Structure 1
Amino acid sequence: MTRRRLIAHLDMDAFYASVELLRYPDLRGQAVVIGGGRRHQPQTQADGTRTYARLGDYTGRGVITTSTYEARALGVFSGMGLMKAAAKAPDAVLLPTDFDQYRHYSRAFKAAVAELAPVIEDRGIDEIYIDLTDVPGAQDTVGHDPLGGVRAIARDIKNNVKRRTGLSCSIGVTPNKLLSKVASDLDKPDGLTMLMVDDITSRFWPLPVRRINGIGPKAGARLATLGIETIGQLAAMEPLWLMERFGAHYGAWLHRAAHAQDDRPVVTESEPVSMSRETTFERDLHAVRDRAQLSQIFTELCVRVGDDLQRKGYVGRTVGIKLRFDDFKTVTRDLTLPAPTADGTQIRLAAGQCLKRVDLSRRLRLLGVRVAGLTRADAPVLAPARSGARTRPKAAGSSPTSHSTGTGSPSHALLAREPDLFDEEPAMDNLEAMNGSDLAQGPVTP
């Protein structure tokens, strides 16, 4: 029997919202939006009942972190401005974010998976890849089902996650990571989708090109203008034709992706060289006219990179930004700090300095933040070389954020004194609960 490569992608269903529904079960079946600030905390009345903030009463410039499927049915999705969402679903319940809870349940679901399938690649707070190839029984035929063995293992994983956390997840099982990422989204929520090589033409190619992770709204729109709307239509294009229109690297990747070619392994314990977050906008944004929205997004990216670093136990010294303009030109800038950090505020300040070195007269389609030069948070830290100074290790018991430069440092003072363009009208309404830090006050000024 030929040994199949069996890669699973597990995605928790509406993760943040589902965690909140465990805490507030009376909201099940209702349209619920996560993304409010501390003032949107539910209030318990004298009789034990709760009252909830409503989306229609919201004022501010925050964005949605996630929403329940009932809210999505009303056209309310993650990344949407809360004011815009309020016009679509004014009666939806608005809850604040609670990242401590989300991290707790993230660890719990990953531990539940590891009990059955230990080869796991962590892809974020709510998703993982799992290599099921060598899990005992995965290659077995059950009855007339050649995938019966791996199907049973995937069901066991789903059941164990549900038992340990009370949450549902969706799993896609295919020969590679690219296909599995697509498959896990085909039968949400609580789905299990098997998609093998023989299914590519009948089940993968009819899908819209945007289903492929890596084809964003702008690339999808550009493909549509070329008459390419489905993955099958993309697969029919010659590689050279795609490279001429999308560049050598991206064009070649488009061709491989359309043919479901992906040999990336499931990586378990690799030491990362950097961590980053980026987002592609639904429409191109202008640095001045859309400053409030960009401020919100830019700050959230910085805070989330800091959260990723702290969750995984790293600090980094080099902060960088990535901007892609409406002409597809990409610009990067970076800044090396005097000491490593995992603090979202410090990352935001440094990223803001990088931003000052970019011509922002054109419209933006993508914005990203990156921290490189990573070391373990508990590793000894070498101080910057100074005349007559010695290097010394970090004091025992220091927290990850203790690597941040102090306010007495000349470099830090420069960062704190000079707000960048996105700081002029800060819009950080729903970020105050993230990482347990309150960024709603904007940058530090003298």
Structure 2
Amino acid sequence: MESNPAPAQEAPRRVAHLDMDAFYASVELLRYPELKGLPVVIGAARSAGPRQRPDGTHEFARLRNYAGRGVVTTSTYEARALGVFSAMGMMKAAQLAPDAIMLPTNFPVYREYSRRFKQAVAAIAPAIEDRGIDEIYIDLSAHAEPSRELAQRLKDAVRQATGLSCSICISPNKLLSKIGSELDKPDGLTLLGMEDVPTRIWPLPARKVNGIGPKAGAHLESLGIVTVGDLARAAPDLLQEHFGLSYARWLIAVAQGIDDRPVRTHTEPKSISRETTFERDLHVRRDRSQLSDILQRLCEQLAADLQRKGYEARTIGIKLRFEDFRTVTRDVTLPDAAIDGVAILVAARICLKRIVLDHRIRLLGVRAGSLAARRDPDAGADRGHGVQLQLC
């Protein structure tokens, strides 16, 4: 009697989260190695960049000299030890670390290093979900190489391509890998299995779970649920009463380390935007010319983004933040898809007419939405320049 062959077992799921260590700051330290070991804060205007002395050394601005309302983009670990973190106001950071070195952001350079590290990873493991300029998920399920050796090979490839360190965690899913990549920073290599959830995940604050934001975290704390372990032990009825059925189910699952989301190697963006925060609030009438120039530049940059990425937009939106921090947005749907600067400027003017401009403006942004693949790749490539936009 012949026996049926046993079905081939599916390889266990292995997902990595790779996160560059203090990415922007680390790139700056490659450019200015004399700053290694010092507290450095990234986020100043370009005018605050270092000045080169006649002997080739650099003179750096100190955070104590900052004046304005910018925010910290990132900081070195030495600055973080002083309490300075990303998204903090630069003025508050200056109070905490007045002697910290202050540097402007340089996004073209950061994007180049981002391209390098992702290219290095893709040469080894191409199933990548891009999560931003400094982090990616990688599906490693099809690789036979042991997790620790594979993780180290990825880290070595990133360092060889960029000169930078990264932290990586390999686990059965995206949830655990995202949490795990933070556990041993910087230059961390972390392996997690479901059996590690009670010992390594449950002691962490509940807010460490990606998806539990400040409001939900504060609500959980008001219920006495502070750690992930508290969440795992919480009564399902209590969670449903306070968060609703869907979110309660999700909380129960993530507290146990359960996450079935796939690694998505390709996603279409829903929108593309450009915005800028001014060093000082701009007056609608007295600063009309400057505002017009800024809006024109943003529209041209947005058009270039669309052309480079191969999209056209059916919706154009405007975003204003006033001096009182009130934010207003307006959108318009176009009869014909836009890609060139002219069409985006015209649409932005229509949106502006629907906003009462009764306060100074501190932020201005333009957004392209309802994106679709461009039908004519060459259309509009050289249009949209030299347009004089008037604020209405």
TM-score if structure 1 supplies the norm length? Answer: 0.68
AA of the residue aligned to 1:417: L
Mapping of residues 292-441 of structure 1, within 5 Å? 312-319=309-316, 334-337=331-334, 339-340=337-338, 371-376=368-373, 379-380=375-376, 394-395=379-380, 398=381, 407=387, 417-418=391-392
Q: Which residue of 2 aligns with 1:156?
A: 153
AA of the residue aligned to 1:7: V
Q: Which residue of 2 aligns with 1:267?
A: 264
* Separation in structure 2 between the aligned mates of residue 94 and residue 340 of structure 1, nearest angstrom: 39
Q: Which residue of 1 aligns with 2:206?
A: 209
Matched, 1:77 2:51: no
* Separation in structure 2 between the aligned mates of residue 66 and residue 350 of structure 1, nearest angstrom: 34
Q: Which residue of 2 aligns with 1:166?
A: 163
Q: CA deviation at 1:108?
A: 0.2
Unaligned runs of at least 5 residues, structure 1: 139-148, 278-298, 323-330, 358-367, 382-392, 419-446
Per the alignment, do residues 204 and 311 of structure 1 end up closer, same or farther by CA in structure 2, a change over 3 Å counting?
farther
Q: CA deviation at 1:225?
A: 0.7
Q: Which residue of 2 aligns with 1:44?
A: 52
Q: CA deviation at 1:349?
A: 5.4
Q: CA deviation at 1:70?
A: 0.5
Give a deviation string over 1:17-60, Cα, whole Å, max 9, x none.
11111111111111111111111111011111110111100001
- 2:348 touches 2:366 (CA, 8 Å); kept in 1? no
Per the alignment, do residues 120 and 336 of structure 1 end up closer, same or farther by CA in structure 2, a change over 3 Å counting?
same
* Separation in structure 1 between the aligned mates of residue 305 and residue 59 of structure 2, nearest angstrom: 33
Q: What percent identity do the matched residue pairs reach?
A: 55
* Separation in structure 2 between the aligned mates of residue 106 and residue 255 of structure 1, nearest angstrom: 35
Q: CA deviation at 1:316?
A: 3.2
Q: CA deviation at 1:240?
A: 4.1
- Higher-Rg structure is 2
Q: Which residue of 2 aligns with 1:95?
A: 103
- 1:335 touches 1:354 (CA, 8 Å); kept in 2? no
AA of the residue aligned to 2:159: K
Per the alignment, do residues 69 and 349 of structure 1 end up closer, same or farther by CA in structure 2, a change over 3 Å counting?
farther
1:185 counterpart (178, 182, 185): 182
Q: Which residue of 2 aligns with 1:107?
A: 115
Q: CA deviation at 1:118?
A: 0.9
- 2:349 touches 2:391 (CA, 8 Å); kept in 1? no
SS of residue in 2 equivalent to 1:375: strand
Worse overlay, 347-356 or 69-78: 347-356
CA-based RMSD of the aligned residues comes to: 3.6
Q: CA deviation at 1:86?
A: 0.3
Q: CA deviation at 1:356?
A: 5.1
* Separation in structure 1 between the aligned mates of residue 241 and residue 136 of structure 2, nearest angstrom: 34
SS of residue in 1 equivalent to 2:265: coil
* Separation in structure 2 between the aligned mates of residue 209 and residue 94 of structure 1, nearest angstrom: 33
AA of the residue aligned to 2:24: Y
- 1:170 touches 1:188 (CA, 8 Å); kept in 2? yes
Q: Which residue of 2 aligns with 1:291?
A: none
* Separation in structure 1 between the aligned mates of residue 53 and residue 14 of structure 2, nearest angstrom: 51
Per the alignment, do residues 267 and 13 of structure 1 end up closer, same or farther by CA in structure 2, a change over 3 Å counting?
same
TM-score if structure 2 supplies the norm length? Answer: 0.77
Matched, 1:18 2:16: no
Q: CA deviation at 1:309?
A: 6.3
- 2:317 touches 2:351 (CA, 8 Å); kept in 1? no
Per the alignment, do residues 417 and 53 of structure 1 end up closer, same or farther by CA in structure 2, a change over 3 Å counting?
same
Unaligned runs of at least 5 residues, structure 2: 1-8, 275-294, 320-327, 357-364
Worse overlay, 242-251 or 159-168: 242-251
Say how many residue pairs are matched: 342
Q: Which residue of 1 aligns with 2:229?
A: 232
- 1:121 touches 1:267 (CA, 8 Å); kept in 2? yes
Q: CA deviation at 1:250?
A: 2.8
SS of residue in 1 equivalent to 2:138: strand
Per the alignment, do residues 35 and 199 of structure 1 end up closer, same or farther by CA in structure 2, a change over 3 Å counting?
same
Q: Which residue of 2 aligns with 1:442?
A: none
Q: CA deviation at 1:311?
A: 7.3
- 1:319 touches 1:351 (CA, 8 Å); kept in 2? no
Per the alignment, do residues 208 and 353 of structure 1 end up closer, same or farther by CA in structure 2, a change over 3 Å counting?
farther
- 2:204 touches 2:228 (CA, 8 Å); kept in 1? yes
Q: CA deviation at 1:151?
A: 1.0
AA of the residue aligned to 1:245: H
